[in-house]
């Protein structure tokens, strides 16, 4: 009687290899449960960076389909995101209102080289435009 031959480890189908696809699937996992922590992260993205709601949700790894479902189920989310958007807009307007051009010696010397007089804008002209 002959002994069974062990499998040849050089054959690709018989040797065990790394499973790279499983790691890829784990990375694609998206959050489908609406937690207060995720909602706060999305609100923070909108308030800090001014991105739209869908972009903020996708940056927090929430699919557009789940995000739309969350907004239908919870009516308070829309108000929170609108408030975050308004806070971002107000912060940007405040930066524009408080903008003051810097007067540096480099700008003055550059204006001398170009042959143009150096002028600063009076504060009354800046504030009257807004």
Does residue 124 form part of some domain? no
CA neighbours closer than 13 Å in the CB half-sphere of residue 60: 26
pLDDT of residue 82: 95
Does residue 17 form part of some domain? no
Domain with 79 in it: 29-118
pLDDT digits (tens, 9 = 90+) for 10-57: 555 555 555 555 555 445 545 578 889 999 999 999 999 999 999 999
DSSP code per residue over 56-104 = HHHHTT--HHHHHHHHHH-THHHHHHHHHHHHHHHHHHHHHHT------
Does residue 24 form part of some domain? no
Does residue 2 form part of some domain? no
pLDDT of residue 120: 59
Q: How far apart are CA 40 and CA 36, in angstroms?
A: 6
Does residue 16 form part of some domain? no
Per the structure, the count of domains in the chain is 1
Token pair 């002209």 is found at 125
Does residue 21 form part of some domain? no
pLDDT digits (tens, 9 = 90+) for 65-116: 889 999 999 999 999 999 999 999 999 999 988 887 766 555 555 555 555 5
**Whether the Cβ atoms of residue 43 and residue 84 lie closer than 8 Å to each other:** yes
Does residue 8 form part of some domain? no
pLDDT of residue 52: 93
**Does the global pTM surpass 0.75?**
no
Does residue 33 form part of some domain? yes
């Amino acid at each position: 009687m002959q002994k069974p031959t062990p499998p040849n480890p050089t054959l690709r189908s018989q040797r065990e290899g790394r499973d790279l696809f499983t790691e890829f699937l784990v990375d694609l996992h998206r959050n489908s449960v609406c937690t207060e922590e995720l909602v706060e992260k999305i609100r923070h993205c909108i308030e800090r960076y001014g991105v739209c709601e869908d972009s903020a949700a996708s940056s927090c790894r929430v699919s557009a389909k789940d995000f739309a479902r969350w907004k239908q189920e919870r009516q308070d989310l829309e108000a929170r995101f609108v408030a975050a958007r308004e806070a971002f807009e107000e912060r940007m307007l405040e930066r524009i209102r408080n903008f003051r051009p810097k007067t540096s010696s480099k700008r003055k010397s550059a204006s001398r080289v170009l042959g143009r007089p150096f002028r600063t804008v009076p504060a009354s002209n800046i504030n009257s435009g807004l």
